[in-house]
Structures are given as C-alpha cells and as structure tokens.
Structure 1
Amino acid sequence: MRGSSRAAAKSGLGALAEVIGSIDPMALADQLFAAATTVDGNATLRRALTDPSRDGAAKDALARRLFGGKVSDQATHVIAVLAGQRWAEERDLTDTIREFGVEAIAENADRAGRLQGVEDELFRFERIVDSTPALRDALTNRQGDLKGKAELVTRLLSDKAAPETVALAVQAVGSRSDRRLDAVLDGYLDLIAKRRGQLTAVVTSATELGGAERVRLSESLANLYGRPIQIQSILDPAVVGGLKVQVGDEVIDGTIARKIDGARRHFGA
C-alpha cells in the first residue's frame, strides 16, 4: 500500500484496539471478513467509502448507516473509522478490513497460548498445497465454488489444526481472485510474525535441520537482523547440500545446487 493507505491503516488500528476486548475476536473477524466481501462486491459502495474528495466524517457516517444493525457495534466502529480515512486505492480499504480480521483471529490464538502453533500449521498448510498439484488446482481455480473450497479446507484441517488455523485457511482460499493463494497466506504469516515481535526465515535444505543447527542458525540470523527469528523448514533434495534462507524479500542462497549452476554458466555448459 502507498503512503496515505499505510497511514489510514495505522489510524484504524486504534479503533481495533478499542473494541477487541469487548467482543469474541473470532466473531469480530467473521464480521469484518463479511463486510470486506460486501464492499468488494459493490463498486458504487466501494467508491463512495474511499472517494478522496468526500469528507472523512461523511464516509464514517455512511459506513455506520450501512453496517449498523447488520454487524456488531464493535465491527461497525472499526469499519467506519477505516472508511473515514484517506485511501490511495479503493481496494486498500477492504484489504485492510480483512487484515484486521486476521489480527482478530491472531488475538484469539494469542489469548489461548497457541499463536506459534497457528503460525506453524498455516505454514505447513501452505507447503502441502504448493506440493500437491491436484489440491492446489482445486483451491486456486478461479471458477471454483467458494463454498466447496471452504468445505474442502475444513475437511483437511478441522481434526488436525487449531480453529484459528482453519479460519485463516478458509478465508485465504476465498480471497479475491486477483491475489495468489500463496501470497495471501504469506501475508497472514507476516502479520502473525510481527505480532510475535519476530521475523520468519524460510530455510530450504536437502535434509532435516538438527536441533542444534536450528538454534545456531536462528541465533546468527537474529544477530544479523536484530530481531528474534522463527525458522520454518522446507526439505528439497534438489538443493543437494547447503542452505537457502529467505527472510522477507531477502534471499541468502548457499546451496550446492546454486554453486553448480553458477559453474555451468561460467563455463558455458
């Protein structure tokens, strides 16, 4: 998001903080997700709530009239405060409403002491989808039935993952068709990592990292980035040896496969 939208989202966090303690966070998340879907599906409404030439108080009042009585007072307040801000792009408003829904789910998991578990489960779900072509096709087919996708995810995860993980996965597969599923899940993981005050390092290796090796790597990366690091592992025999480490957009590739490819290019093989 561009500058004005980032500032708008930051302003809205105060409204979320005001209400999060007075409502079931999972219920709040459901209501925020539903509101975002409603606004996304109505171009006229979306433009009215994000029109930069319109007074913020008027947009706030419009949101309260539209959503008051249809969702909780808490959800209405959050949506109205966000609508009253200035947005660089129309979709930034609904993307932020959804992000606040994710924040509410993370709050619920945090209260229950299972936020790290949700992060791990969501990461594993992303890897399973990525490595299973039939499942990936079923969940990313733009012509697919959203209800069917949600039911499939629920069947896959309901007995194996926390309710927050299931809720996030269901929301991800039902997200806007112009966004890749892996990008949506990565966004959720980033939000959870930030909430936990840490960064996530995705480490690709040919064999499973040992406990001591994970600790040393985590400590080294923490020293490099100045923040605690959560290690998420991916096994890929194609790397042969060494490690590929990705933290955000930064990639440190020390794999043997990369060195072999470099040598081939050097010698024109």
Structure 2
Amino acid sequence: MAGVSSESLAAALAALEAKLPTASLQLAKDLFGILGTVDSSAGLRRALTDPSRSGDEKSSLVKQLFGGKVSADAVEISAGLASSRWASARDIGDALETLAASVVIAVAENKSAVSASGLTGLESLENDLFAFNQSVESSHEVQRALSEPQASPAAKVTLAEKLVPGASEEAKVLIAQAVTAPRGLKVTKLVRRFAELAAKRQERWIATVSVTRPLTETQTSRLQTGLNALYGRELKINMNVDPALIGGIRIQVGDEVVDASVAGRLGQLQRQIA
C-alpha cells in the first residue's frame, strides 16, 4: 500500500489510538465482520473507493449497511475509512484488516499495562502467533487441511486452536481470521503480518539506550525512573555500549529518538553547514 492509500491508513490508525485504551475484542470481531462483507462484494468495494463520489456519500453508505448490526465504534471507524481516498479497491479491505488486528493487539497490550509489566501481553501474543506458524510449517498435512477449499471455516478454526491449545484469546482471534479469511495469502504469511504489527506496537514499551560505556546501577535506576515518568509507562531498557557515540547518550523509544551524544550533535552540525 502506497501513496494516497498509505496516507489514508496512517490517518485512520492515528484516529484509532483514542479508542484503543478501552477497546475490546468484540470491536475487532465487528471490524473483521465488516471486512468479510466488503471482500464478498466487488460492487461494494468499488462504491466505497470510487473517487467520483464524495466522502460523505461513501460514509453514509457504510452507516446504512452496518448501522445497528455491529457496534457504533465499528461503524464509525469503517465510515471514516470509506470517506478517505484509496488508490485501489483492495486497499480499503487491507486497511480494515490492519485496524482490526491493531485493536486485538491493543487489547493484549492493555492487559499487561494493568500490571505495569509493559510487554507481557504483547510478548505472549507474539509468541502464540510464532508457535502457530511453526506448527503449520512443520506439517504438510496441516498445511493441506488449512488450505482445503471444501473444509468449513469452523473445522479450520478447530484445527488451528488444537495447534496452540494454550493460546490467548487475542491470539485465537487473529489466528481464526487468518485461517478463515487469508485474503489470497498463505495462512502463515498473514499470521506473520499480524505478528509484525504486534512487534511494532511492542517497540512503544522498549527504550534502546546507547552509551559510550556501561552505566552504574544508580545511573541505570535514575534513567529508568526518568524514562518511565517521561513516557507514562514502565519501559524495558535495552542497553547498548557504542564507543562510536564519543560521549553522551542516545535513546530510542518506538519512532522517537533523543540524541544527546557528541556524534549526534556533530552530525547535526554537518547537516547545517552542508
């Protein structure tokens, strides 16, 4: 997904953030359900991505189709997507899939945030998805069963859950979606995509700290306290000793970088005088 579709998805993900702290798995299931309807109708996809129709028209169509059938939040999210611009008819479905998966991942994240463990829920989700893929990839018989067009969705879900009997509810939702609606992909490839989204979310809880020499326990403790206060969460610190920094410290949390190193300041100066 690129260009205008990428911009529309980015805007939708940014808007979704406000709903994620209280999101439920039912919201994700509603969004996946809407995705199923959109995927089943080429005419509907064209109508929702037609550049000649106004955003309000397309948004109203979503509300007419799904209002009262799924949660108000699911309708609002989907209507927002419809009002945006898309480069191709498939892109709106890809966006719905990403938003629904993001909700599931946030539910896992919120479970761990309650206990201030930060990564527990996300790590468990990622581990469950990896375990499922390993089980599938190790058995040609399972691969055939999951790709068998005559097999019912319920049978595929039952088989999938047997492969990871201890999986979390969040993992089960994503795995069930992958085995019943892979949308032209191999099941394991879609599950891997979901795992990558979880890993991306996980970066929000990890502070990668680069220093020129190891910090003392007292310095590390102070840094931990300061970062937790700054980001409002319990961060996991990954310490990296990098003599190339010359001096100072470099911290990365997700996409945000705080560079107080001599090397960073020199690089900035070089860019200014170039």
Shorter-chain TM-score above 0.5: yes
Partner of 1:95: 94
Provide the residue aligned with 1:54 in structure 2. Answer: 53
Is 1:7 the equivalent of 2:7?
yes
Alpha-carbon distance between aligned partners in 1 of 2:136 and 2:6, rounded to the nearest angstrom: 31
Which residue of structure 1 aligns with residue 17 of structure 2?
A: 17
TM-score by length of 1: 0.70
Contact 2:135 2:163 (8 Å CA) reproduced: no
Aligned residue runs from structure 1 range 160-175, under 5 A: 160-175=166-181
Structure 2: how far apart are the matches of 1:135 and 1:86? 39
Q: Distance in 1 between the 2:166 and 2:240 partners?
A: 30
Q: How far 1:153 sits from its partner (Å)?
A: 1.5
Q: CA RMSD in A?
A: 2.7
Q: Is the 8 A contact 2:21 2:110 kept in 1?
A: no
Letter in 2 for 1:63: V
Equivalent residue letter for 2:133: E
Asked if structure 2 preserves the Cα contact closer than 8 Å seen for 1:39 and 1:45, the reply is yes
| TM-superposition CA deviations, 1:85-107 (whole Å, max 9, x none) | 11111111111111111111111
State the match for 2:208 in structure 1.
none
Q: After the TM superposition, which residues 182-193 of structure 1 pair with which residues of structure 2 at under 5 Å, given as runs?
A: 182-193=188-199
Structure 1: 4+ residue segments shifted above 4 A: 226-229
Give the number of the structure whose alpha-carbon radius of gyration is greater: 2
Structure 1, unmatched stretches of 5+, are 199-217, 230-269
What per-residue deviation string (whole Å, max 9, x for no partner) do you get for residues 231-259 of structure 1?
A: xxxxxxxxxxxxxxxxxxxxxxxxxxxxx
1:142, 1:177 within 8 Å by CA — same for their partners in 2?
no
Q: Percent identity?
A: 33
Q: Which runs of 5+ in 2 are unaligned?
A: 113-120, 205-238, 245-250, 255-274
Is residue 197–residue 227 contact of structure 1 (8 Å, CA) maintained in 2?
no
Alignment of 1:189-200 (within 5 A): 189-197=195-203
Is 1:40 aligned to residue 39 of structure 2? yes
* Contact 1:15 1:81 (C-alpha < 8 Å) held by counterparts: no
Secondary structure of the residue aligned to 1:112 is helix
Q: Secondary structure at the match of 1:106?
A: helix
1:149 pairs, out of 147, 150, 156, with 156
TM superposition shift of 1:176: 3.7
Deviations 1:164-193 (CA, angstroms, capped at 9, x unpaired): 111111111112452111221121011111
Q: How does 1:248-267 map to 2 (within 5 A)?
A: none
Deviation string 1:12-69 (CA, Å, 9 cap, x unpaired) is: 12332233345x4200000000000011101111111111221112111111121111
Deviations 1:98-143 (A, max 9, x none): 1111111111111111111110111121111001111111112244
How many Å separate the matches in 2 of 1:162 and 1:42? Answer: 32
Matching residue of 1:107: 106
- The answer to whether the 8 A contact 2:55-2:84 is kept is yes
TM-score by structure 2 length? 0.69
Distance 1:45 1:177 in 2: 16
> Contact 1:39–1:46 at 8 Å: present in 2 too?
yes
**Structure 2 partner of 1:138:** 145
